């Protein structure tokens, strides 16, 4: 089974609108972490947001928030007030195992977001 599933190959959003990028995960480890990274056409992976499996509240970082639904094993990324510079590939990723230890991270295949002026 895929550890990280991103079912939206591509998404369009109007500038200034909000958009949700879907991510579901599969793990039997009680301790894990979920990440979202942005990859512009230049290739660099830019860290956006992190959610630990024991965190009680959904993570937020500026215009990014992570809608964490543990029972559903979903970790959707919400981008509010989209900007043209948000056009990029977005990857969901998961760390399994205890925090602060060895960090093997598994990535999904990504969602291409295009922001329309």
Partner 1 sequence: DTGVSQDPRHKITKRGQNVTFRCDPISEHNRLYWYRQTLGQGPEFLTYFQNEAQLEKSRLLSDRFSAERPKGSFSTLEIQRTEQGDSAMYLCASSDRGEDTQYFGPGTRLTVL
Whether residue 88 contacts residue 113, with contact meaning beta carbons closer than 8 Å, is answered with yes
Cα 57 to Cα 67: distance, rounded to the nearest angstrom: 9
Of residues 55, 52, 75, 69, the one with CA closest to residue 3: 75
Whether residue 24 contacts residue 74, with contact meaning beta carbons closer than 8 Å, is answered with yes
Q: Looking at 43, 57, 85, 117, which residue binds partner 1 (CB under 8 A)?
A: 43
Shortest Å distance, C-beta 14 to partner 1: 26
| Segment 78 to 117, residues that bind partner 1, using CB under 8 A | 91, 93, 95, 99-100, 102-110
Nearest residue (CB) to partner 1, 100 versus 117: 100
Nearest residue (CB) to partner 1, 58 versus 106: 106
42 in contact with partner 1 (CB under 8 A): yes
Buried b (16+ CB within 10 A) or exposed e, 65-101: bbbbeeeeebbbbbbeebeeebbbbbbbbbbbeeeee
Q: Looking at 41, 44, 85, 117, which residue binds partner 1 (CB under 8 A)?
A: 44
Q: Looking at 46, 81, 84, 116, which residue binds partner 1 (CB under 8 A)?
A: 46
Whether residue 87 contacts residue 15, with contact meaning beta carbons closer than 8 Å, is answered with no
Q: Residue numbers of the site for partner 1 (CB under 8 A)?
A: 4, 33, 35, 37, 42-47, 50, 52, 91, 93, 95, 99-100, 102-110
């Amino acid at each position: 089974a895929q550890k990280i599933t991103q079912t939206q190959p591509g998404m369009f959003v109007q500038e200034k609108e909000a958009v949700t990028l879907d991510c579901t995960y599969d793990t039997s480890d009680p301790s894990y972490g979920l990440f979202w990274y942005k990859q512009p056409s230049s290739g660099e992976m830019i860290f956006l947001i992190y959610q630990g499996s024991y965190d009680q509240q959904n993570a937020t970082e500026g215009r990014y928030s992570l809608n964490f639904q543990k029972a559903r094993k979903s970790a959707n990324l919400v981008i509010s007030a989209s900007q043209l510079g948000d056009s990029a590939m977005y990857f969901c990723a998961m760390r399994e195992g205890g925090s602060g230890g060895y960090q093997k991270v598994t990535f999904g295949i990504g969602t291409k977001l295009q922001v329309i002026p």
